[in-house]
Structure 1
Amino acid sequence: MRALTAALLVLQTPAQAPIREQQQWVLDALNVEQAWRTTKGAGVTVAVIDSAVDPGAKELRGRVTVGPDMSSGAVRREVTPGAHGTAMAGLIAASGADGGYVGVAPESRVLSLPLAVSEDPDRVDPPLAEDRAVIESPLARALRYAVGQGAQVVSMSIGTYGAHRSEREAVSYALGKGVVLVAAVGNDGQTEYARENGTSYWSFPAGYPGVIGVAAVDERSKVAPYSSDNLSVLVAAPGSGVPVMKRGRGYGTSEGTSAAAALVAGVAALVKARHPGLRPDQVAQALAAGAKGRPAAGYDERTGFGVVDAGAALNAAAGLAGQRRSIPVPSDQHFGQGEDSPPPSAPGPDPWRLWLYGLGVLVALVLFCGGIMVLHQRRQ
């Protein structure tokens, strides 16, 4: 089985300021408070495919459902909460209870789908070829389970090198069911390969078509040097020095595209809560159209279309929600001018031609028989 790694999480001792003050710059960077005037994500379930989320965390209590361990085919419900998964869930859906940590979509719910995820920030695995011996990967299993449980958004702050057929199929299945998929693009921006080639290895699931790949920026909205740069990047979000919840209690900070992806998944939950009928590609379009700090060329491989703006994304989504996929055309109208063409004739043989053909055959038979009779008389 391929090793999935968390897209870098470093927990540090936070400053003494209240947690809401510490995270205010992140909320401002994403323009979340403007979006909250419209929705806070009620009615949306976000599946967090990561290490297990701690359902006992104060800001998540009562709103987390922990699914079976997806790392093996056997159904196991007993899983140990992980630091990484808990931090990502908090970024998405923490309620802010008692002045505590608040997520981007504080009224949404979390479906925790545990995977065996390495939380070692120094681990870098080389790209691997597809393991064709594995019929279904744990990630593919988790995606299908998320769809079956009614999740509208899936957050994947994880990554590995190399695509897998079962994952491609599961991604296509989820998108076809209207589920928005968000993933971290990885932290390979400073690797030797990236320096030599001017681009980073693709990380999956962010590299699969239809998945919203998220890069990381810092407090000044400058691209984080570690953030991977390739065409899997659609948008960016804060990833450096982002305050997060710790497992159990307490707070720390996160470094990496993990936090950026979770934050964008929270914004996607706001969009789906306000416009539940939007297709995944329309949600991605809304996020890109509403992004701020757009590169001079309109797009680049570092930050995609820019940093996500929750308020602007909701406005863009409202315009997309009013679009019709097809325009009805009255039956009495046609392209061009002039009279309509005559209606096509019914399929099958022409009756008049059949009569003419039959008459010809009959005449031929009469002549043939007459000729035989004349020859017979002459012989006699």
Structure 2
Amino acid sequence: MLNVVRTLTAALLVLAGPNADPVRDQQQWVLDALNVERAWSVTKGEGVTVAVVDSAVDGEVKELKGRVTAGPDMTSGAVAREVSPGRHGTAMAGLIAGSGEDDGFTGVAPGARILSLPLVTDEEPTMVTPAPDQGRPSESPLARALRYAANHGAQVVSMSIGSYGPLRSEREAVSYALGKGVVLVAAVGNDGQTDYARKEGTSYWSFPAGYPGVIGVAATDKQGRRATFSSDNLSVLVAAPGVGVPVVKRESGYEVSQGTSSAAALVAGVAALIKSRYPKMRPEQVAQALSSSAKGRPAAGYDDRTGFGVVDAGAALNAAERLTGAKRSVVPGMEHFGEGEDSPVPARPGPDPIRLALYGGGVLVALVAFCGAIIMLNQRKE
């Protein structure tokens, strides 16, 4: 089965010339859309490492300097080789953990660290037709990356990548990482305007977003509406800005991104905030905190375009707090279904002690009477 991994940013466009507003002003709408500054009053992601499975991250960018650990090239297996920093991975890392150094770009979790796990190049490969899982015994590059991240201290993995068709080794690696408590976030894809999507009313599933337990993220515009290019299928859990999102460039400067890539990186940053505050929170609880607190929820509560709505970082932290300290709630007037006086302890199984005593006493009396009658009969015969 041909399984080509691709990045999921539709475009990276250079910001306007030297007279453009400072980058913080350009990105403010994104921070506002995610309600990030409210969350920053609680945490900025300190103590959390986010693995960026993408092209290699440029650790010399001023907003990332000193906070990027370069992992091995995930495409080469046991062979070690030099990997050049990539445009896409650097942009995604900045969205997650940009420090704002010298009035520069600020990520959603500016206190977090980045573990760069190179998996793709910045050149967009040809898309392939979905194919069924052939059950390959060998481990895919993504599977290696997930296991490496889980074994090297990552609490969150950001995957702004995708391929068509699931692989057994990846499913197993996803399960392994989730079992280690790692939150997995992935872009759902940019196939919303393909001929297939128009004809069928749904998009091809993209993996790893399609694997159970992975938080699939769709893209929205400045108005919170689903971006037309964003894939729509049941892999979508939540949404985040993915149209006109400023990002850092390699070496220096900034540009604008379009795609579910950016949306996924932003949500990975929010997940890092939650894990910073509640490090022992399980991945499924993080997903619940993100989805239950999302804003702009569809009228039906959920749809396959924006999932449960746009992530709200401040509300997600509040939801996480409720989940970690969750106690059994009782509807007023319905105490007999919940809290209240304990019911009597049930009787031990077996014979009733009182009845057993009465029965035993009766048997004893009968036995005494019987023996007495025998003695009296013997005396008469004499």
Cα offset, 1:10, TM superposition: 1.7
Per-residue displacement from partner, 1:270-292 (whole Å, max 9, x unpaired)?
A: 00000111100000000001100
| 3-state secondary structure, aligned to 1:150 | coil
Matched, 1:342 2:345: no
- With normalisation by structure 1, the TM-score equals 0.85
**Residue 77 of structure 1, CA deviation:** 4.8
Alignment counterpart, residue 42 of structure 2, candidates 16, 38, 41:
38
1:250-269 correspondence to structure 2 within 5 Å: 250-269=253-272
Task: Note the residue ranges of structure 2 that are not aligned, 5 or more in a row.
Answer: 329-340, 352-382
Q: Which runs of 4+ in 1 moved over 4 A?
A: 334-339
Query: CA distance change for structure 1 residues 65 and 75 in 2, over 3 Å: closer, same or farther?
Result: farther
Give the aligned partner of residue 241 of structure 2: 238
Decide which of 101, 104, 114 is 2:105's aligned counterpart. Answer: 101
Where does residue 65 of structure 1 map in the other structure? 69
What is the CA-CA distance between 1:100 and the residue it aligns to?
Answer: 0.2
* Structure 2 counterpart SS, 1:225: coil
Confirm whether residue 2 of structure 1 aligns to residue 6 of structure 2.
Answer: no
Distance between the aligned counterparts of 1:294 and 1:182, measured in 2?
Answer: 20
Aligned 8 A contact 1:93 1:110 in 2: yes
Deviation at 1:324, TM superposition (A): 6.7
Q: CA RMSD in A?
A: 1.8
Corresponding residue number in structure 2 for 1:54: 58
Aligned to 1:78: 82
* Residues 216, 237 of structure 1: 8 Å contact kept: yes
Q: Map 1:165-184; keep pairs closer than 5 Å.
A: 165-184=168-187
Match of 2:310 among 307, 311, 316: 307
> Secondary structure, in 3 states, of the residue corresponding to 1:23?
helix
Identity %: 69
> What is the identity, as a one-letter code, of the residue corresponding to 2:250?
R
* 1:158 maps to 2:139: no
**Aligned-pair CA distance for 1:124:** 2.9
In structure 2, the partner of 1:369 is none
Rounded to whole Å, the distance in 2 between the matches of 1:57 and 1:76 is 24
Ranges in structure 1 where 5+ consecutive residues have no aligned partner:
326-333, 345-380
Q: Does 1:289 find its partner at 2:279?
A: no
The whole-number CA distance in structure 1 between the counterparts of 2:121 and 2:168 is 20
Alpha-carbon distance in 1 for matches of 2:344, 2:248: 67
- Cα distance between partner residues in 2 of 1:236 and 1:123: 26
Task: Identify the residue that residue 191 of structure 2 maps to in structure 1.
Answer: 188
On the 8 A contact 1:45/1:111 being kept in 2, the answer is yes
1:143 aligns with 2:146: yes
Aligned partner of 1:161: which letter?
Answer: Y
Relative to structure 1, the CA distance from residue 45 to residue 228 in structure 2 (aligned partners, 3 Å threshold; closer, same or farther) is same
SS class of match (1:160):
strand
Alpha-carbon distance change, 318 to 338 in structure 1, aligned in 2, over 3 angstroms: closer
1:257 offset after TM fit, Å? 0.2
Cα shift at 1:130 = 2.5
Query: Deviation of residue 119 (structure 1)?
Result: 3.7
User: How many residues align structurally?
Assistant: 335
**Residue number in structure 1 paired with 2:15:** 14
Which of the numbers 218, 222, 233 marks the counterpart of 2:221? 218
**What CA distance in whole angstroms lies between the structure 2 residues aligned with 1:343 and 1:114?**
67
